[in-house]
Amino acid sequence: MSTFTIFLALIVIVAFLLIVVIMVQNPKGGGLSSSFGGGGTQQLGGVKKTTDFLDKSTWTLATLLLVLILASNLTINRGGQNGDSKALDEDAATTAPAPLPNPTTTDDAATATPDADATGE
């Protein structure tokens, strides 16, 4: 199993956990916080602590997801390339491309002088 595959699996797991944590929250004060006792002040862990935990979990998982995505870019197999830009290649910068030939066809030669045939002289 390659390193990129491990990063990909971790990204999927963290993304799923982030979705779950966000879905549990309720912006109007409900969600998981209100399910622990129905709105009383003494609840399992307290409303404020549950909300703080969910808020910190969201930010932690989002940061972890961003770091995993950026780190996985370093492990992508580039197919044997060294990763350098071809624009920085000195050999390509010093050689000019060959000029393209300008082909002329018989149709171009016939349409090049339409005035001589059109005057009737």
Q: What contacts 86, CB < 8 A, 6 or more positions away?
A: 92
Task: Check residue 42 and give its pLDDT.
Answer: 47
By three-state DSSP, how is residue 53 classified? helix
Q: Which of 10-14, 45-49, 77-81, 100-104 has the lowest mean pLDDT?
A: 45-49
**Which of 17-21, 39-43, 96-100, 112-116 has maximum average pLDDT?**
17-21
pLDDT over 60 (residue 110): no
Task: Check residue 55 and give its pLDDT.
Answer: 87
Q: Could you state, in order of their start, the residue ranges of all structural domains in the chain? A: 3-74
pTM to 2 decimal places: 0.51
CB-CB contact of 14 with 21 (8 Å): no
Task: Check residue 32 and give its pLDDT.
Answer: 57
How far, in Å, CA of 31 to CA of 48, rounded?
12
Task: Check residue 25 and give its pLDDT.
Answer: 82
